[in-house]
Amino acid sequence: MAIQFQYNKTSLQMLEKNLKMRVRALPTIKNKESALRLEVKRAKDEIKTLEQEIEQRIAAYDKMLALWGEFDTSLLQVTDVKMGIKKVAGVRIPVLDEVLYSTKPFSLFNSPKWFADGLTQLKELAQVGIEREFCSQKLQLLEYARKKTTQKVNLFEKVQIPGYDDAIRKIKRFMEDEENLSKSSQKIVKSRQQQMKEDVA
């Protein structure tokens, strides 16, 4: 991206102002990028932990697979998922507040004794699964923000700041050359006037 400028003081001042702004903003953007990198790593670790927990719970259910065949799956239903929003490194992230379930009434006398424990286990599994889904969303949002921030850091560091430096240098050289030419032409005019005065005298 070429920086557009004119060879005058106004353009020079604008370029210097823009350069100063970018140089001042760069450390903040770099800090945001490193904070986002850290949050992305945390989110990945959290997802890994939740996935391991889900696998462990499913493995525990496999031991009682024969019993689950007689379980009435319509007894438990997720009715609502309440969520909030939290800002992490300037990015709005959904946060799981609570999961609401509805449980159909069932007869404790006619149903197997373990149905109540089964409902608790299913709620726990659903909770972990929903948390994992929220973590996955969080990771996507954080990775997108990190990618954008990295692009901005690269744009500032590798394109705009060197571009503004170069443009400022060109304008200053041009103005110095113009000033030198002006001084030289004034000297020439003075020396000619001096010469003419001497010729007249």
Which residues contact residue 63 at a Cβ distance below 8 angstroms, ignoring those fewer than 6 apart? none
**So what's the pLDDT on residue 80?**
87
Alpha-carbon Rg for the chain in angstroms: 35
The per-residue pLDDT for range 55-114, each reduced to its tens digit, is: 888 887 776 665 656 666 777 788 888 989 999 888 899 888 888 888 877 666 666 666
Mean pLDDT of the chain: 86
Q: Are 95 and 134 spatial neighbours (Cβ–Cβ below 8 Å)?
A: yes
Distance of alpha carbon 172 from alpha carbon 181, whole angstroms: 14
**So what's the pLDDT on residue 66?**
58
pLDDT of 25 above 80? yes
Task: Choose between 55 and 119: higher pLDDT.
Answer: 55
pLDDT of 38 above 60? yes
pLDDT of 41 above 80? yes
**So what's the pLDDT on residue 59?**
81
Q: Domains in the chain, please, with CATH?
A: 9-188 (1.10.287.3240)
The secondary structure element, H or E, covering residue 56 is: helix 9-63
pLDDT of 40 above 90? yes
Task: Choose between 60 and 33: higher pLDDT.
Answer: 33
- What percent of the chain stands above pLDDT 90? 42
**So what's the pLDDT on residue 70?**
66
**So what's the pLDDT on residue 103?**
80
**So what's the pLDDT on residue 109?**
64
**So what's the pLDDT on residue 56?**
87
